[in-house]
Amino acid sequence: MNSTSDLDQVIDSIKQVEEDIRNVEANIKAVDVELKKDGLSEKDVDYYREEKRQLREEKRQLREKENKLRDEKMKLQEKEKPTDGRPPPKKTRHPVQPAMKSPPGGPGNTKRRRMSHTEPTLPPCRLEGNRSDHQIVIAPQQRRCIYCSYLFLLAKNEGKEDPPRPREPSRKCLYCQVHICKDHWDVFHSIRS
């Protein structure tokens, strides 16, 4: 309610300033008419020129005031903007629920899992579904083979010097959504960790 009265006051002020500007413009025209008259003394010409300069300055100040009032009006109108029953976007943010795991082969809205460095384990999805569901596809990017990484971490945790570095294949299991090299494809899908 208070912002509505503020908006009304600003609109009234704008109308008043517009009226003042019209009056000043009329006075400038009157001074121009006086300056065009013949037979004016130099003193009168100087007086009218000074008067015209002051009127132009007053008009410039009124325009600045009008612009500020219009800016204020826009801000007040933004605050009063009718909504469609929803609060502004800043207030509609809710805590994001973690995405449910998509079905195998579905859209990839799950985060890439990282293996624990202290207790490496293989993902349980490797033993799920039919054997025919697990298909090799060529992925657009290369990532470490999950089984090579598993063996590397096991060797590192046992304290072996220079364990074999994991390969980075571009092959991926369509069902498990993990990268696997050719050598470990069968082993990965058959052993229990």
Residue 93 reports pLDDT greater than 50: no
Residue 110 reports pLDDT greater than 50: yes
Q: Is 31 left (phi over 0), alpha (psi -120 to 50) or beta?
A: alpha
Q: Cβ of 134: how many Cβ atoms within 10 Å?
A: 20
How much is the average pLDDT of 151-177?
A: 83
How much is the average pLDDT of 150-167?
A: 83
Q: Is 171 in a helix, a strand, or coil?
A: strand
Where do we find the tokens 């009124």? 62
CA of 2: how far to CAs of 6, 7, 26, 68, 80, in Å?
Answer: 6, 9, 37, 20, 11
Q: Which of 93-102, 108-117, 135-144, 150-159 has the lowest mean pLDDT?
A: 93-102
pTM greater than the 0.75 cutoff: no
DSSP assignment of 46-90, as one string?
Answer: HHHHHHHHHHHHHHHHHHHHHHHHHHHHHHHHHHH---SSS--GG
CA 188 – CA 147 distance, rounded (Å): 6
Q: Which of 46-55, 64-73, 127-136, 147-156 has the lowest mean pLDDT?
A: 127-136
- Is 189:147 a contact under the CB 8 Å cutoff? no
Residue 69 reports pLDDT greater than 70: yes
Where do we find the tokens 């998509």? 102
